[in-house]
Amino acid sequence: MVVDRRDFSVNFLIALLITNKELASRKYARLRVIYIWFDAGEAAFMAEQFVPLLLVISLALIFALLFLGLSYWLGPKKASKLKKTVYECGIPVRGGIEIRFFIRFFLVALLFLLFDLEAVFIYPWAVMYQSMLDGGRMIFALSEMGVFVGILVVGLVYVWKKGALEWQ
């Protein structure tokens, strides 16, 4: 059974089953192969981190459904044709909303992808920055990100000059 141990979902599922490193090493000692491929300790650690999230999600869902169910149970149900029309300041709606969406918003979405990805890439560097400094690789640490951010700044300046940031 060969599975990449970096495969998140598999790891996560296993983590749900095996929640303790000692436990894993004792009980599943014979399943050596599994222990090699799935670092049960890591799995347990991940379980500790992510099981609560699963619980929070389900709890939020339960709460939301509970609220909605309660209001469905308690609220009046006297719908009428007029009540169920879409609101447009009291005038019957002409035309739908299935228009070609305004190009502005599209541009913003593209720019967002660009810059948010940038931020995502900066995070690992930021985490390592201090240790890189401690390791004496100062100039490298800074210039590496300097080049990366610099390219993006050039991009920003370009977009700015092109007028993509103007709304009108």
- Among residues 14, 9, 23, which one has the least CA distance to residue 43? 14
CA nearest 42: which of 24, 67, 62, 65?
24
Q: 1, 2, 36, 91: which one contacts another protein (CB under 8 A)?
A: 91
**The two structure tokens encoding residue 41:** 């300790």
Give yes or no for residue 59 binding another protein (CB under 8 A).
yes
Choose, by CB under 8 A, the member of 8, 72, 140, 158 that binds another protein: 72
Rg of the chain over CA atoms, in angstroms? 27
Nearest approach in angstroms of CB 2 to another protein is 26
For another protein, the closer of residues 2 and 92 by Cβ is 92
CA-nearest of 113, 88, 111 to 158 is: 111
Contact call for residue 12 and another protein (CB under 8 A): no
Binding to another protein by residue 161, rule CB under 8 A?
A: no
Q: Which of 27, 49, 151, 154 binds another protein (CB under 8 A)?
A: 49
Give the CA distances from residue 6 to residues 2, 9, 20, 33, 144, in Å, rounded to whole numbers and listed in that order.
Answer: 12, 9, 19, 15, 27
Q: Does 25 bind another protein (CB under 8 A)?
A: no
Rank residues 7 and 134 by Cβ distance to another protein and give the closer one.
134
147 touches another protein by CB under 8 A: no
Nearest approach in angstroms of CB 58 to another protein is 8
Q: How many residues bind another protein (CB under 8 A)?
A: 87
Cα-Cα-Cα-Cα dihedral sign, residues 148, 149, 153, 156: positive
Stretch that binds another protein, among 6-14, 26-34, 35-43, 126-134 (CB under 8 A): 126-134
Residue 168 CA to residue 157 CA, distance in Å, equals: 18
User: Which of 30, 32, 98, 161 touches another protein (CB under 8 A)?
Assistant: 98
The end-to-end CA distance of the chain, in Å, is 59
Q: Is residue 100 at the binding interface for another protein, with CB under 8 A as the rule?
A: yes
